[in-house]
Structure 1
Amino acid sequence: MTAWLKAAAAALAVSLIVAGCGGGGGSDNNTSQNAPASPTPAGANQVSAVIAQGVTGNINIPTVSVTVCAPGSASACRTIDNVLLDTKSFGLRVLNSSLGSTAASLPTVPSGTGVLAQCALFAQSFTWGTIRTADVHIGGETASGIPVQVVGDLSDATIPSDNCTDSVPVSNAEDTASTLNANGILGVGVATNDCGTACAAAMSAGNPSTYFSCPPNTTTANCTRVPVAVAQQVTNPVARFPSDNNGVIVQFPAVPDGGSKTATGLVTFGINTQANNAMPGTVTTLASDEAGDLKNSTFSGLTNVDAFLDTGSNGMFFGPPLTPCGSNAPDFYCPTSKATLSATLQGESATALGVTFFADNATNLFNTGNFALPNLTGTAANGTLDLGLPFYFGKTVYHGLDLRASGGQAPFIAF
């Protein structure tokens, strides 16, 4: 499985720890009970992204509403709230339980004599379910007849050991709202689909597919890993909008150091396609790779750091220049006072951009009871810099899709 999809789920992996993090100690920060001022959708190409209690009460989970319909239908539809907005994965994955009766109306994608399914690997977990075709409506935009993953419509007994449970335990399957911390994942990163030519090519030990062919109505683990054509892969809905289909703009208000009970951002589809998504000349554009990574970045004395911006991560995660919190939240940092960190972001071109961000004591932040928390940082491998949701607070970030396959633009990140 490609690294971007594993990295994209940092929020889903670590937020389980947040849910169990308790104890006293108070906070060194001021708690904000009022939501910061929020941008308001004004166009059909815009939708709100809300950070609040959500489905599980975990922190820094930005969610949007998505309507899923059977292809061509205006009645076999289901509007699903609390879908995680993820700028570092690609394509829509929704829980079978959130679709209700609409799930049966979504045709499965055939694969040989069976149906197509996927084991999509994240940092410490995975989603397992069939690939189906649906019309996806977000705000006033529609992606017609695209492949989506329906998570949890196959039982755990069918999960393949090959490429799935050999990577993480079967108990790490995120097939319910309580384990996923959302009702689905909307991946709107820079790629147009979730696997591309790698999964379409012949499989090998170095190039395994994440897709499987499963016998219809299977109840046992007898699915077979298969290559799959690009057109059948889970597809970034933005790439299939009739217009406003070349990128995504994500804007969140600044959040005070102590956090806020809620915060609402704005997602705008398209870049420079109409008046409300024009990119000003004052932003810096960084050429990313096909997954949105800026792999020539510098941080904490290291060069060639793999940096990326990711609303699907509920903190900013990096190697250990700070002190971890300890047993109550071992994956987060707890500096004794607010720390200032800096990095230089650089991707596939010579353009580089210096950035500054901050780290507060994570335990104190958790104890505020707020759901929108800035300056939350946690651990990752040396050489990785995951600038998650807190990095977006107070910024407008442009994610330009990789359209080179159709003769269009190269992928980029700008802010």
Structure 2
Amino acid sequence: MTFALTAGLAACGGGGGSDSGSSTTFTNGGSGSNTSALPAGPTQQPIAATAANTVTVTVNSGVTNSTPNIPTVSVTVCVASSSTCQTINNVQVDTASYGLRVLNTALNSTMQGALTKVSSGSSTLAECTAFADGYTWGTVRTADVKIGGETASAIPIQVIGDLASSSVPQACANIGAAQNSTSALGANGILGIGVAPWDCGATCVTAANSNYFACPNGTSCTQTAVALKQQVANPVAHFATDNNGVILQMPPVSNSGQASATGTLVFGIGTQSNNALAASQRFTTTAWGDLSTTFNGRSLSAFLDSGSNGIFFADSAIAQCGGSLGSFYCPATALTFTTTLVDQNNASGSISFNVVNASALLGNASFFAFNDLAGQFGSNSSLDLGLPFFYGRYVYYGIDQSVTGGTQAPYVAF
């Protein structure tokens, strides 16, 4: 997940190199708000979220009433193997991170005390999770996670913000701003459902590169190695069924934006009658979901990230809005860009996306769904295809099963 922010705006992360990007300018009177000349976008409509392997995805004013393009679902968290549960609304769907992270302030007092903390020796295990816009810090707990009709039993999750701010390790604080509150996250938590089954994998099995910390009495936290089974886990990979991937289906929206959008998150790919793989383009990714592209003459990594509220890339030729809109783009005329994505097997496919003046789009305070919001944020070496790319598309994420004894390599498709 990533936030490009000043006026409460958001984005997420990834990493890659290959074909060339270009742009077409449509003259529209200079305000950047006339979208009539833009090419038609994708038009797929989401299925109804009525089956057990589905859940409704909502984009609207959300918990902050100020952050556009935040897709959210409801998630039920339970004390493992018990009926002590709480349903948490407004949890952001993030296809570029891995694992469930819930704000401590979103949990009721019973759940705050009842969720079992994972231990590292005699210490409490905590995690510093890096995102493009900052970090989340909090303990690792064990919980049953229920989404729609699916359950991941007794998996590690992160509870954000349940440790004193003074306990944050310097290495964590160096990442950027703390994202340990509802206002900072723009949601009550993050549901990471990308292609990895764990949030750190082999990297954190050794202490030197670990995101995890052992905190005696919740303080004096030191970096520590963590086995896979103790790492924050992608819930989908740990469902009993429908666990090989997800399909995020978002409806088309107006090029001028609209108040809200309702989509569907479907669990499993090719496991039920409602989740067949019907994509025209499929790309094998890195273990973390990355592809490659050459855009504006530069080799970049590219990734499809529902946790980013805009499409983020560096282009010095496009005017930035400044002021409260910071590095969001405010071109005088609407733009269309095309580029080619290249996967791990050198398979390639072309995509296009639009960029419209963010000041004009966000001038309507009642609109929260935009398919052409973009800016420069995060790494200058990446093309972050955020939620605007998802509207009107079925986007598939095949979870990496090679690390759990299977043969499926990680992939994205649309």
Whichever residue aligns with residue 402 of structure 2, its letter is: R
The 1:330/1:178 distance shift into structure 2, 3 A limit, reads closer
Q: Deviations over 1:237-258 (max 9, x none)?
A: 0000011000010011110011
**Is the counterpart of residue 146 in structure 1 residue 155 in structure 2?**
yes
Q: Deviations over 1:110-144 (max 9, x none)?
A: 11111100111111311111000000000000000
Structure 2 SS opposite 1:254: coil
TM-fit CA distance, 1:17: 3.2
Whichever residue aligns with residue 176 of structure 1, its letter is: S
- Work out whether residues 357 and 375 of structure 1, in 8 Å CA contact, stay in contact via their aligned partners in 2: yes
**Is the counterpart of residue 373 in structure 1 residue 370 in structure 2?**
yes
- Work out whether residues 29 and 364 of structure 1, in 8 Å CA contact, stay in contact via their aligned partners in 2: no
Partner of 2:309: 314
- Work out whether residues 51 and 371 of structure 1, in 8 Å CA contact, stay in contact via their aligned partners in 2: yes
TM-fit CA distance, 1:376: 0.5
Partner of 2:144: 135
What is the CA–CA distance in structure 1 between the aligned matches of 2:375 and 2:179, rounded to whole Å?
21
- Work out whether residues 53 and 267 of structure 2, in 8 Å CA contact, stay in contact via their aligned partners in 1: yes
Partner of 2:53: 45
For residues 40-189 of structure 1, the aligned pairs below 5 Å read: 40-57=48-65, 58-74=67-83, 76-100=84-108, 101-161=110-170, 163-168=171-176, 172-189=177-194
Partner of 1:302: 298
Partner residue of 2:319 out of 314, 317, 323: 323
TM-fit CA distance, 1:27: 5.1
Partner of 2:243: 245
Partner residue of 1:360 out of 348, 356, 359: 356
Partner of 1:409: 408
Of the structure 1 ranges 114-123 and 61-70, higher mean CA displacement relative to structure 2 is found in 114-123
**Is the counterpart of residue 213 in structure 1 residue 235 in structure 2?**
no
TM-fit CA distance, 1:373: 1.2
- Work out whether residues 144 and 155 of structure 2, in 8 Å CA contact, stay in contact via their aligned partners in 1: yes
- Work out whether residues 6 and 325 of structure 2, in 8 Å CA contact, stay in contact via their aligned partners in 1: no
Whichever residue aligns with residue 117 of structure 1, its letter is: A
What is the CA–CA distance in structure 2 between the aligned matches of 1:82 and 1:42, rounded to whole Å?
19
Q: Deviations over 1:10-48 (max 9, x none)?
A: 2xx21443469xxxx995469xxxxx9764212100001
What is the CA–CA distance in structure 2 between the aligned matches of 1:328 and 1:134, rounded to whole Å?
39
**Is the counterpart of residue 255 in structure 1 residue 253 in structure 2?**
yes
Structure 1 SS opposite 2:252: coil
- Work out whether residues 35 and 334 of structure 2, in 8 Å CA contact, stay in contact via their aligned partners in 1: no
Q: TM-score, normalised by structure 2?
A: 0.88
What is the CA–CA distance in structure 2 between the aligned matches of 1:330 and 1:50, rounded to whole Å?
26
Partner of 2:39: none
Q: Deviations over 1:68-104 (max 9, x none)?
A: 0000012x10000000000000000001111112121
Partner of 1:17: 7
- Work out whether residues 38 and 263 of structure 1, in 8 Å CA contact, stay in contact via their aligned partners in 2: no
Partner of 1:6: none
**Is the counterpart of residue 288 in structure 1 residue 259 in structure 2?**
no
Whichever residue aligns with residue 105 of structure 1, its letter is: A
Whichever residue aligns with residue 315 of structure 1, its letter is: G
The 1:177/1:199 distance shift into structure 2, 3 A limit, reads same
- Work out whether residues 60 and 368 of structure 2, in 8 Å CA contact, stay in contact via their aligned partners in 1: yes
Structure 2 SS opposite 1:118: strand
The 1:307/1:188 distance shift into structure 2, 3 A limit, reads same
Larger RCO: 1 or 2 (CA < 8 Å, sep 6+): 2
For residues 30-41 of structure 1, the aligned pairs below 5 Å read: 39-41=47-49
Q: Deviations over 1:166-202 (max 9, x none)?
A: 332xxx222221111100000000000000011002x
Structure 2 SS opposite 1:390: helix
Partner residue of 2:345 out of 343, 349, 353: 349
Partner of 1:268: 266
- Work out whether residues 262 and 371 of structure 1, in 8 Å CA contact, stay in contact via their aligned partners in 2: yes
What is the CA–CA distance in structure 2 between the aligned matches of 1:383 and 1:298, rounded to whole Å?
10
Structure 1 unmatched runs, 5+: 1-8, 31-35
What is the CA–CA distance in structure 2 between the aligned matches of 1:86 and 1:315, rounded to whole Å?
13
TM-fit CA distance, 1:323: 1.8
Aligned residues: 381
Whichever residue aligns with residue 102 of structure 1, its letter is: M
Structure 2 unmatched runs, 5+: 11-30, 37-43
What is the CA–CA distance in structure 2 between the aligned matches of 1:393 and 1:166, rounded to whole Å?
34
What is the CA–CA distance in structure 2 between the aligned matches of 1:301 and 1:18, rounded to whole Å?
31
Whichever residue aligns with residue 177 of structure 1, its letter is: T
What is the CA–CA distance in structure 2 between the aligned matches of 1:107 and 1:408, rounded to whole Å?
33
- Work out whether residues 27 and 368 of structure 1, in 8 Å CA contact, stay in contact via their aligned partners in 2: no
Partner residue of 1:340 out of 314, 318, 336: 336
TM-fit CA distance, 1:105: 1.2
Structure 2 SS opposite 1:328: helix
Whichever residue aligns with residue 95 of structure 1, its letter is: L
What is the CA–CA distance in structure 2 between the aligned matches of 1:136 and 1:383, rounded to whole Å?
35
Q: TM-score, normalised by structure 1?
A: 0.88
TM-fit CA distance, 1:284: 1.3
What is the CA–CA distance in structure 2 between the aligned matches of 1:115 and 1:108, rounded to whole Å?
7
Partner of 2:233: 235
